[in-house]
Structure 1
Amino acid sequence: MLRLSGLITYLGQHRGVFDGKLMYGDPAYGIVPYLISGFKGNNLSAQKLAFNKWMSRVRQSVEWNFKLLKTMRSYITFKMLAKIRLSPVANVVAIAMLLTNCHCCYHGGNQISDYFNLKSPSLREYLDTLQIIDI
């Protein structure tokens, strides 16, 4: 999804957007500009361990959106996702997340926006910024 979003390309073309800041992401993304992940190893300094612990909490909060998706869109089940070649899984998940995000915007936020003390965009603002991509 990160690749499909075009975010990394956009940030490369608009370097001032983050102004020296970075995003925290899953190590599965590998080495990607503007994205960092936790420190690895057995003999980490106290500072690195504290960073990993703090960022783990933030990362868990981001995963709450997937919990919301599964709660609100109960038709997305492991059994359905296991049939990868038999159904358009990526399309189903992308549309379900779109609807989950729309629900958040319509209702003025959710536990994630509350946790980060952020105001969610209006539904109109959110939909106006979307670009349809071919998955």
Structure 2
Amino acid sequence: RWDRSQVSRIVHETATGIVERFGHIMAWDDQFMTPEYLEQCCAAVHAAGAPLQTIFGFIDGTVRPIARPIRRQELWYNGWKRTHAIKFQGVLIADRIVRISGPHNGKRHDSRIFRESGLLETLINHAHLPNGRRIQLYGDPAYGWNPLITAPFRSVRITDVQRMHNADMSAVRIAVEWCFGKVLALFAWVDFKKNQKLLLQPLGLYYKVAVLLTNCHTCIYGSQVVDLLRVDPPPLETYLRVANQS
């Protein structure tokens, strides 16, 4: 019978092996994220109800509560959630989460995480249609407005048209929240605060594995996002790039 330390070591080595072999597929894949594919994503988002025709995905951050750290507690305290936490940033494109950045300390602002993630440079180089037209991610107001990311209108004098625009975009943007929620539904352990011990476990590694396996689950069984955007997930072998491997 294995003791707890042996089980922990096996879990850690398995998670490390998964990320070492497959972690690259959650990055921006130039061969897969072609302008033609991103054009299809824009069409799917627009067909789902978004008034904008140039949104190919959604950016969001997620706050994951952790047990109280034994050192530097103030760095990890998230005042909004009123808990110690780590944060991740992710991008939803079509049916899966890509470009997971983190873990970051719980008090770090989303805009700073975005600046430090390197995502802006990726968008500058790749976020365009076949005709060269720029396309955008959609996020919450923390990410601001620029040619590559757009957000809801914010004003004390917002017009009725702008208010309707925000509501229509919000109804589609919920897809990224569904994706993060599915990770927790399938892997409840990463949402169990008392076991999320910062200095004792590689929390970032385990969360990224949970995201990767959630994407795999979507390839096989679909998801709410697939139903909303009416996209077809790739076969699992294609997603994992193992179809032609021995």
TM over 0.5: yes
Does residue 111 in structure 1 map to residue 224 in structure 2? yes
Q: Does 1:120 align with 2:233?
A: yes
Counterpart mapping for 1:54-69 below 5 A: 54-69=168-183
What is the match of residue 132 of structure 1?
none
The correspondence for 1:10, drawn from 117, 122, 129, is: 122
Deviation at 1:11, TM superposition (A): 2.8
Does the 8 Å CA contact 1:65/1:112 hold for their aligned counterparts?
Answer: yes
Residue identity opposite 1:69 in structure 2: V
Indicate yes or no: 2:208 matched with 1:91: no
Distance 1:57 1:14 in 2: 26
Instruction: After superposing the two structures, state which structure 1 stretch, 41-50 or 16-25, moved more.
Output: 16-25
- Per-residue CA shift, 1:97-131, capped at 9, x if unaligned? 11000011123x21111111111111122223xxx
Return the offset for 1:6.
Answer: 5.1
Aligned to 1:50: 164
Contact 1:81–1:89 (Cα < 8 Å) also in 2: no
TM-score calculated relative to the size of structure 1: 0.77
Taking only the aligned residue pairs, the percentage that are identical comes to: 35
Contact between 1:70 and 1:76, CA under 8 Å: does it hold in 2? yes
Quick check: 1:8–1:33 contact (8 Å CA) kept in 2?
no
Rg (Cα) greater in structure: 2
Shift of 1:94: 1.2
Please report the RMSD computed on the Cα atoms of aligned residues, expressed in angstroms.
2.7
User: Hey, which of these two has a bigger chunk of strand by percent?
Assistant: 2
Give the length in aligned residue pairs: 128
Query: Equivalents in 2 of 1:43, 1:81: separation in Å?
Result: 46
- Secondary structure of residue in 2 paired with 1:119: coil
- TM-score (normalizing by structure 2): 0.45
Answer 1 or 2: higher relative contact order, Cα 8 Å, separation at least 6.
2
- Could you tell me which runs of 5 or more consecutive residues in structure 2 were left unpaired when the two chains were aligned: 1-88, 91-98, 102-116, 242-246
The aligned amino acid for 1:119 is: D
**3-state secondary structure, aligned to 2:234:** coil
